Amino acid sequence: MANIVSPLPGVFYRKPGPGKPPFANEGDTIEVGQTVGIIEIMKQFTEIQSDVAGTLESFKVNEGEMVNPGDTIIVIREG
Amino acid sequence: MAFDIKSPGLATTVQDQGRTGHYNVGIPQSGSLDQYSAELGNALVGNTAKEAVLECTYLGPALTTDQDAVLAVTGAPVEVKVNGEPRPQWTRLQLKAGDELSFGVIQGGTRYYIAVQGGIDVPEVLGSRSTYSLGAIGGFHGRKLEAGDRVPVGSPLDGGAVPDVDTVPEEFRPVFAKEQTVRIVLGLYDHRLTDEGLDNLLHGEWKVTPVADRMGLRYSGPGVKWKEREQPFGAGSDPSNIVDAGYAVGSIQIPGGTQPIILHRDAVSGGGYAMVGTVISADMDLVARAAPGTSTKFVAVSMDEALAARKELAERKNNARAALGLSG
């Protein structure tokens, strides 16, 4: 298992915008460099990308929740 | 000499001691939000306090230097890397031409500073190299850095002389805690709060929200109540409104009585919200270090106590400089 952690504080979103489909869902195949969510802070949106390939196991943070630097957002089952 | 920006980080800007003297025409002072950390970074590399540094917010940049460089990273705790290898913070670092500086995940606080011998050499605008992004003046073309930027670095001062000691001792580094006590001087409009409102302000627990930047920081908490009154001509209809007035840097407004906002170095110079108090100058660096979620208590002090705290901070900075082997 590999954890994708947030490098910055802010509000986590799974979707690129309201009414749009999520970047990724549980069970999806994830590639290295794929965007899996965004963090909003200081009116800026920073894409969170996976640094491993595998299957998206679970989300540790809900849509619209606050995260701190170093918090695990997503768990990926590698392979 | 120059830094080549490979990736810019979230909001990396050129800052110095600030652009004072133009607030009356709406140009805020700007400058490093954590002046103490920026100044000690400059001290480590043999600069005066005036040289410009790079202020990095949460996510730092990755950059390479085109010549040998002497630099130091101070401020919020973060893993510093040179060519991917960890290097200490609050310590003078020697980089060779072509070396890459990058950062890991920030471990507390909000901002860290890259000081380089010779300083960041962008043109002065109204007497300062600080970036005021909203007004698009100063710094590197009036904006935060972007990938591909080539940021000029000045020539070393004083023949490249550096202090005897290459590390700021632990005792002189700021603490980046998740709890803060911030000292304020009440006024000018604290009399507009109800007793309960004032009590909430001074005894409630307030938390920094994610809505916090160089302009100001917004806090959530118990809220306050304003005394009802017939609003004077020219003031807005909410009891937190006043007839437009000048804002002090560090002043606290509570629009609608819900979430206090502390104005910081890039704030507007005036407006129509009542200021219940002002953060003392000695605690403005502290406020700037508050990451979202930081639990905050506001404590009222007198002007004499505020001035004593300012003197104490200046002494602390002088003692830190003395610990590096510098005078004054």
Distance CA B69, CA B1 (A): 9
For B68, how many CA atoms within 13 A lie in the half-sphere containing its CB? Answer: 3
DSSP A78: E
C-alpha B56/C-alpha A39 separation (Å) is: 17
Chains A, B: CB contacts under 8 A, how many? 45
A33 reaches B (C-beta below 8 A): no
A75–chain B Cβ distance below 8 A for any pair:
no
Q: Chain A residue closest to B59 (CA)?
A: A8
Q: CA of B50: how far to CAs of B41, B213, B271, B312, in Å?
A: 11, 23, 31, 21
Q: At what angle do helices B303-323 and B35-44 cross, to 10 degrees?
A: 20
**ipTM associated with this complex:** 0.86
Q: Do A42 and B107 touch (CB under 8 A)?
A: no
Strands B179-186 and B295-300: parallel
Chain A CB contacts of B33 under 8 Å are none
By the CB < 8 Å criterion, does A9 face chain B? yes
Residues 183-242 of B with CB under 8 A from A: 210, 212-213
Q: Where are the alpha helices (DSSP H) in chain B?
A: 35-44, 195-203, 284-288, 303-323
- The sheet with strand A72-78 has its strands ordered as A2-5, A72-78, A54-59, A29-30
Residues B260, B244 contacting (CB under 8 angstroms): no
Strand residue runs (E) in B178-239: 179-186, 206-212, 216-220
B58 touches chain A (CB under 8 A): yes
Q: What is the structure's pLDDT at B69?
A: 97
Model confidence pLDDT, tens digit, residues B312-324: 999 999 999 999 9
| Global confidence as pTM | 0.95
Q: What pLDDT is stored for residue B158 in this prediction?
A: 81
* pLDDT band at residue A79 using 50, 70 and 90 as cut-offs: confident
Distance from CA of B107 to the nearest CA of A (A): 7
Answer whether B1's CB lies under 8 Å from B67's CB. Answer: yes
Checking DSSP bridges between strand B179-186 and strand B206-212, what pairing results, if any? Answer: unpaired
Neighbours of B204 (CB within 10 A): 16
CA distance B58 to chain A (A): 6
Residues of chain B with pLDDT under 70: 328
Return the pLDDT at A33: 96
pLDDT tens-digit readout, B122-170: 999 999 999 999 999 999 999 999 999 999 999 998 888 999 999 999 9
Closest CA to A1 of A61, A60, A68: A60
Candidate from A42, A46, A68 with C-beta closest to B293: A68
- Distance in angstroms (rounded) separating the CA atoms of residues B4 and B153: 11
Please name the residue of chain B whose CA is at the shortest distance from the CA of residue A45.
B10
Q: Are A14 and A59 in contact (CB under 8 A)?
A: yes
What pLDDT, on the 0 to 100 scale, is given for residue B328? 62
Give dist(CA A66, CA B8) in Å, integer: 24
Cα B190 from chain centre: 26
- The whole-number pLDDT of residue B301 equals 98
Cis amide linkage into residue B188, ω under 30° from 0: yes
